[in-house]
Homo-oligomer: A and B are copies of this chain.
Amino acid sequence: MSSVQPTSIDPEMTADEAERELSPVAAFSPEERAAVYRAIYERRDVRNEFLDTVVPQDVLRRILDAAHHAPSVGLMQPWNFIVVRDSAKRVAVHAAFERAAAAEEQIMPADRRAHYRSLKLQGILRAPLNICVTCDRSRRGATGLGRTQQPDTDLLSTACAVQNLWLAARAEGIGMGWVSILRDADLREILNIPPEIAIVAYLCAGYVDQSYLRPELEVRRWATRLPLDELLFEDDWGRKPDTP
């Protein structure tokens, strides 16, 4: 069980007191703004290009702290990060991937199975770091602030943490890949994750010196980028905006 159980804290603060903590917002310079978009557009799901280079502890800590500064429902911060370095563990996770991928191949249309098999979908053994990101669903009680109507927002918060981790990694020159072709029960057994903790993401990470400019599944002709305009509605589901 997690030992992390934040306690309720002194509620005595007036609205005025809180508002004294508001600070002027300084604009991002054009260069800063471009850097944020660069991280967003150059982020790739990396499977194969990991270098052996060790990720220094301070760099790892920076990207994990970026993840920890994701938004979370009710400031729940439900995440934990299990850094997996042990090679026996990783061999076991890789074997679990192989079993899961063989099962997934069977549900693909027959004419896509060879293509599916040709895709590289994980870097479990090649990447110097594996990171399992979990969600402690009862960290602030079963239904904390913001979770009465939408109880799964804790899982969504944890996904936001993964995205922060991914973008910070990109800015550090570290590539990352998310491996979802893994059975929950296998990961749980290998990493001794208790039943009350949800497993959200299994990630592979390491320095990269080359990368695709487009999503690898697009490069490998598995799928294409959808046009943004097809995804935008205004005021109602299905209603196209007047100004595109």
Q: Which residues of B contact A178 (CB under 8 A)?
A: 71, 73
Closest Cβ–Cβ distance, residue A46 to chain B (whole Å): 10
Determine the interface band of chain A, counting residues with CB < 8 A from chain B: 35 or more
A160 to B81, CA, bound (A): 17
What B residues does A138 contact at CB under 8 A? none
Interface string of A20-40 (1 = CB under 8 A from B): 011111011001111111111
The answer to whether A70 touches B167, judged by C-beta atoms less than 8 angstroms apart, is no
B146 & A194 in contact (Cβ 8 Å cutoff): no
> A56 → chain B, closest Cβ, in Å?
11
A170 to B39, CA, bound (A): 14
| A182 touches B (CB below 8 Å) | yes
CB under 8 Å from chain B, chain A span 4-49: 4, 6, 8-13, 15, 18, 21-25, 27-28, 31-41, 43, 45, 49
Measured in the bound complex, the distance between the Cα atoms of B151 and A181 in whole Å is 10
Complex CA gap A232/B2 in Å reads 11
A64 interfacial contact with B, CB 8 Å: yes
Check A173 against B27 for contact (C-beta < 8 Å).
yes
Residue of B nearest to A99 (CB): B149
Which of A18, A41, A76 has its CB near the most chain B CB atoms (within 10 A)?
A18
**Is A83's CB within 8 Å of the partner chain B?**
yes
Across-interface contacts of A167 in B (CB, < 8 A): 36, 40, 164, 167
A21 near B104 with CB under 8 A, answer no
Which residue on chain B has the smallest CB distance to residue A57? B243
Which chain A residues numbered 149 to 200 have a C-beta less than 8 Å away from chain B? 149-150, 152-153, 155-160, 162-164, 166-168, 170-173, 175, 178, 180-184, 191-194, 197, 200
- Pick from B35, B36, B62, B221: contact of A9, CB below 8 A: B221
What are some 11 contacts across the A-B interface (CB < 8 A)?
A13-B220, A22-B212, A27-B173, A41-B69, A57-B243, A81-B232, A82-B233, A82-B235, A82-B237, A160-B166, A197-B237
